[in-house]
Amino acid sequence: INFSNPHLDVTNWQAVEAHLQGQNIAPEAVTNLTLERCNLTQLPAWVIEKMPNLRALDIKENNIKELPETIEHFSQLVFLEAQHNHLTTLPASLSKLNQLYLANISHNKLKNLSPSSFKLPKLEVLNLSHNQIATLPNLSGLANLQTLSLSGNGGIRLE
């Protein structure tokens, strides 16, 4: 489902629900959600409450400052696109996304990364480019990592 529609207030669950009903779609059946360029400052609570079966979440190009700890409820999430936001930290609960394969968190304001955020057994692609990362924690919890992008962060020190 692509909600990158300037005429739909994605912060209003009733409007979203009416849109879904108009397309005969049950919220719990949604597996791919795009909220790109929706002027969000946070992930709407309805996303986590009403769409627990998401496999792909695209929230790029918003003004989101933090991801909620409740992101752990997306136990089936495989793809997370969160680039071009204002994220300064990542929640520790991110480590509970055991199915996560790709995380693009580039072009944000990340400075310090918690080692607990990086215990993702299936993660193969991690893009952290164009942030403000000074120290990179031990990534041994990313056993399947194949692609790591850190360009545009300046000098990064390894822990």
Mean pLDDT of all residues in 7-23: 90
CA separation for the pair 85, 39 (Å, rounded):
10
Q: Are 118 and 139 in contact (CB under 8 A)?
A: yes
**pTM (predicted TM-score):** 0.94
Token output for 131: 């942030």
Residue 127 has pLDDT above 80, yes or no: yes
Tens digit of each residue's pLDDT (9 = 90 or more) over 80-115: 999 999 999 999 999 999 999 999 999 999 998 887
CA distance 14 to 60: 23
- Rounded to a whole number, what is the distance in angstroms from the first to the last CA of the chain? 40
Q: Find the helix or strand (DSSP H, E) in which 20 lies.
A: helix 13-22
pLDDT at 159 over 80: no
Q: What is the mean pLDDT of the chain?
A: 93
Q: With beta carbons less than 8 A apart as the criterion, state whether 143 and 120 touch.
A: no
Decide if 38 contacts 15 (C-beta within 8 A).
no
Give CA separation, 8 vs 16, 24, 35, 77, in Å.
7, 17, 11, 24
Query: Would you say residue 1 has pLDDT above 80?
Result: yes
* pLDDT at residue 146 is higher than 80: yes
| DSSP annotation string for 38-76 | S--SS--HHHHHH-TT-SEEE--SS------GGGGG-TT
Instruction: Identify the three-state secondary structure at position 156.
Output: coil
pLDDT digits (tens, 9 = 90+) for 47-70: 999 999 999 999 999 999 999 999
